[in-house]
Amino acid sequence: MSIMSKIECAAVLDVLAELYPEAVCALEHGSVFQLLVAVALSAQTTDKSVNKITPNLFERYPDAASLAEADEEALQGIIKTIGMYRTKAANIKKMSEMLVSDYGGETPGCFEELIKLPGVGRKTANVVLAVGFGEQRIAVDTHVFRVANRIGLCDEKDVLATETALMANLPENRWTEAHHSLIFHGRNCCRARNPECESCALSDQRLCRHADHAAGV
C-alpha cells in the first residue's frame, strides 16, 4: 500500500536523483561472483567494513573455484572484523562449492537459483541481479525499508511486503535507481535516529509523510 500517488512517488525519485547522482552500489568487486560474496558478507555490516576486507579476500580467492578450496579457518581470519564472521565464512565457502558443483563455477542470473545458495536471501539475490546482470530490481535492506515507509512510498510492516509495494508504486525502469537512492538518503539524511528533516529536500517539497506529521500538517 502507498501513502502517495504514483506521481508523488516519481517526484520523490526525481528529488533523490538530484540529491545523489552518484548513488550506485558501494561494494567494491571485480566480477559478478565477487559482488555476490560481498553482498552476502554485508548482512548486518556496513559496506565500508566489507570493502576493508574484500581486497585481501579476493586477492587470495578471486573466483568460486579457489574459494571452494579455501580453509574455513583461514577465511575466518580474513573476515573476522565484520559481524557474524564465522557463519559468513562457512556460507561463502559452501556457496562457492555449490557454484562449482552445480553451475560450473559461474554465478547464475536467475533469482530462483540464486536464493538456493547458502547465505543468499532475497536482498542479496536482487542486488546481484540489479548490479551484476543489469535487471531492474528493488532490494530492500534496512535503509530502504525504513526510508520508504517513513517517507510514504509505501506503508508496510515487513521487508517482503515493502518490496512488493515498491514494485507496484514505482516505475519499473527506476527500481534499481530507487534502491540506491533510498540507501544514500538513509545514510546521509533520513537516519534511523534523529532524521534531518529540517534540511531535507523532500520535506521542503512536502514529499514526506513523516516530516508532515512532525510539523503537524
**CA–CA gap between residue 185 and residue 179 (Å, rounded):** 10
Q: What is the C-alpha separation between 56 and 116, in angstroms, rounded?
A: 27
Between CA 157 and CA 186 the distance in angstroms is 18
Q: What's the distance, CA 158 to chain centroid? A: 16
**Three cell numbers at 89?**
565464512
- Same domain for 36 and 105, yes or no, is yes
- What does the pLDDT read at residue 56? 98
For the chain, the domain total comes to: 2
Q: Tell whether pTM > 0.85.
A: yes
Q: Of 113, 133, 153, which marks where a domain is finished?
A: 133
The predicted-structure confidence for 20-79, as pLDDT tens digits, reads as follows: 999 999 999 999 999 999 999 999 999 999 999 999 999 999 999 999 999 999 999 999
Indicate the residue among 69, 98, 133 that finishes a domain: 133
Residue-range definition of the domain harbouring residue 90 = 32-133
* Percent of the chain clearing pLDDT 70 (strictly above): 96
Residue at 161 is within a domain: yes
**Same structural domain for residues 194 and 170?**
yes
CA dihedral 142, 122, 23, 106 (to 10 degrees): 140
Residue type, 14: D
Which pLDDT belongs to residue 3? 80
The residue-averaged pLDDT of 161-171 equals: 97
Q: Give the pLDDT confidence score for residue 2 in this predicted structure.
A: 65
Does residue 1 fall inside a structural domain?
Answer: no
Mind listing the pLDDT tens digit for each residue in 77-123?
999 999 999 999 999 999 999 999 999 999 999 999 999 999 999 99
Examine the fold and report which residue of 100, 133, 166 is the final residue of a domain before the chain moves on. 133
pLDDT of 197 strictly over 80? yes
Residues 90 and 12 in one domain: no
Query: How many residues in the chain?
Result: 217
DSSP letter for 84, please. T
Residues 145, 97 share a domain: no
Report the Cα–Cα distance between both ends of the chain, in Å, rounded.
21
| Residues 166 and 141 sit within 8 Å (Cβ to Cβ) | no
Hey, which residues are catalytic here?
Answer: 123, 141
Cα(21)–Cα(19) distance, rounded to whole angstroms? 6
Q: Tell me which residue has cell 574459494.
A: 67
Query: What's the confidence (pLDDT) of residue 211?
Result: 75
How far apart (Å, rounded) are the C-alpha atoms in residues 116 and 193? 35
